[in-house]
Structure 1
């Protein structure tokens, strides 16, 4: 477009030179020459105006030129103030979001993600999400996520929580299946390690028992007794050992909730686990697998939305589409959240805009603003050429009429 505008100026100059040679040949040539002459003036004037916005024309130190680079700091503050006043005030955000049904839009997308008009948006958001995950340092990001989870876990008192869960489990008699499973596990473990138990009994028996062979009978008696005990515990719900186990579980649940020493001990174990290097390494591996799965999901959203996950999201979308009360609650929450963000972080956002523009050098801000306006700048020059020529025609016609 710059070449077109410049070419039009050169063409007007050529027309002027040629028409000037034949001005007396015909009255119409005077109109052509006047049009070309005025068009050159208009083209040069608008070229100067456009150029003066971004740089000094021909490099000459003409006052009030290179306006944008010279005043970039003031422009940055003005842009920031404009954003803060017109976009990031709580009143503007609330009024704008008051007419938006975000819940219904989310429901439409979740219920039919391949609907026309949403495919491009979904692909763009997914690609952006994948690129953000790939660009961030995985170790540093994983460490930050782990630090955030660890901070939340540090503030959470897990001892009362475990105790309350255990109390509820005992009250609902759901602990009985756990005791049965433990008894079965003990029986299988004893069976798998029977040679080891026999060897321990033989080693601890005295020489007389080994000489008479009573150590083998002793081992058989011990193992038979253990097997019988486990079998009786499994078939008899009122077995005394089971009662002792249940009593111990009830006491443990009570101590986890009410005993300060127990709570302190559990919290100490929790802190040791959270600060363990092994847990940190484990979490880093979990986070890396999660990050790669998220990237793969973002790269292939159609595959991610198939199966049970896709069905669950579709059901959620239908609920959002058909339940006005749910829409009202979600929209109210979104509106309050947006207003809170604008009120709390609005100044930080506009300060970010202002400081970013101020850090740009003159060449950067010139290229970016000129590139953003783009072709329209050259249309100003083209329009100036045409309008100037038309004004020249009008002046020439008026001059002939008056003479």
Structure 2
């Protein structure tokens, strides 16, 4: 019997009677007993007053009050009991209202929650009260959590890399990259790069390297021998007889070396100015000349069309994938450390930037409210299905347990209102009808 009571008092889906339900049941039983006692008292008062009213006429008023109070109490007892079960077990129509209308109650409850609690406006207003961004920032700012998240992410990265490689996305990305590069005009870009390089005459360092290379060439025995042979071939036989080639070579090397030393020592040497003019003219031609632009575009197209480029991209992707997979397996993963540091930094910056937090919170509101709007009919159906699936005895007892105590006060009200009505009717009968 105790086990049965436990099952009845438990809420649907619960297996044991908790302390709160026990307190509610005790309070309900107490109010029921008081209401029943009051009804019995009304009947007893009516009986006693009826018996002695011939000796004491004033008891007729008390009898009228008690009689009407008893009738009102019985009627309201019937009304309250009829909500939950059939009074005295009799098959009276329109009784056991809640069990008989379980499906309709379930559907109406689901629709009520959907319309009144999951409407778009109230949901958005409630979501705006929550600072989602601050919660995310606080969560990420904790190094232990950031490290755990980075560990989770690093496990997925190799799978993502492999999936991208097998899905054809790699080839698609390569094609899109080539298309975007093809849209870039090379000549103006090269002109801008060269202009940046020549800022503050930095290109003169290249000229200095050229002079240094020429100086090394003038001291190279093999190069000098080749130059002497060329000079000898151009001289007449008589000059070759007197070894004029050696003399000319020595003079050429000496003059060239002296000139190179002058250029190297003088930052304003005319040759440097000539080099400045050459570079500036070349940059201007890159910007303005259609011929140079066409040559640059042809060079770019030839470069993009070479199969070695596609092989290089594939090889680079495979190398990246292998590195990521190897690093992910390492207990001292560099990627994981960087990710953890990145997450902590994101949390810190997010907590400091209120504008980003506001945008982020608005995004949460839009996303979650849209989700609720799409799913609220499902929530309504879910609630209705759950209520329909409840055991009738449990459902009835659950409702009675939570609202039955207040319903019992209807019996008290019925006895008081009924008694007053009976007293007024009896008084009116005496006053107007002389009874």
Task: State the TM-score, normalizing by the size of structure 2.
Answer: 0.45
- Largest Rg, 1 or 2: 2
